[in-house]
Amino acid sequence: MKPERARILVVDDDPLVREILARILDLEDLTVRVAADGESAVRDVHEQRPDAIVLDVGLPGIDGFEVCEHLRADAQLATIPVVLLTGQDDDETRAAAARAGCADYLAKPFSPLALIETLRGLVAGLATRA
């Protein structure tokens, strides 16, 4: 029996970034959903409960840090790993990501391979893939 595909939510306000990430992750045999803003992301997480989230910081409405804090405040969602993507690669942003409870942090531009390896390390079903 084929194992169930891991579900990844990609949240970015840039449609091109969402499309590229969705295609890359789909090639890794993952089920990918996308959201363009923080409110949609929170709603999707409550409805679909992904196995991991790839989350941009600079989102319209509530930003990526606020999305992550919202998830960490809900016991049923607090264990979903979040990989934060941001164009800001500085100590202050890294510290804010840690305070918000992000599992990992990748600065844009990032390596697709680095993202895949990060997700493999965070989602149990991905760790066994070759």
Taking only the tens place, the pLDDT of each residue in 74-107 is: 999 999 999 999 888 888 888 989 888 899 999 9
Q: Domain residues for 105?
A: 7-122
Contact, 84 vs 64, CB < 8 A? yes
Give a yes or no: residue 1 inside a domain.
Answer: no
- pLDDT at 129 exceeding the cut of 60: no
Give a yes or no: residue 84 inside a domain.
Answer: yes
Give a yes or no: residue 130 inside a domain.
Answer: no
Give a yes or no: residue 127 inside a domain.
Answer: no
Taking only the tens place, the pLDDT of each residue in 41-68 is: 999 999 999 999 999 999 999 999 999 9
Query: How far, in Å, CA of 76 to CA of 104, rounded?
Result: 20
- For residue 18 the two structure tokens come to 């969402």
Share of the chain above pLDDT 70, in %: 92
Give a yes or no: residue 128 inside a domain.
Answer: no
Across the chain, mean pLDDT equals 89
Looking from the CA of 56 toward its CB, the CA atoms found within 13 Å total 24
> ω into residue 60 within 30 of 0, thus cis?
no
Of 85, 61, 84, which is closest to residue 72 (Cα–Cα)? 84
The total number of structural domains that make up the chain: 1
CATH number at residue 44: 3.40.50.2300
Give a yes or no: residue 16 inside a domain.
Answer: yes
Say whether pTM exceeds 0.75. yes
Which one is predicted more confidently, 3 or 63? 63
| Mean pLDDT for the stretch of residues 4-26 | 93
Give a yes or no: residue 2 inside a domain.
Answer: no
Q: Locate the DSSP E strands across 21-121.
A: 31-35, 52-56, 82-86, 104-107
SS3 53: strand
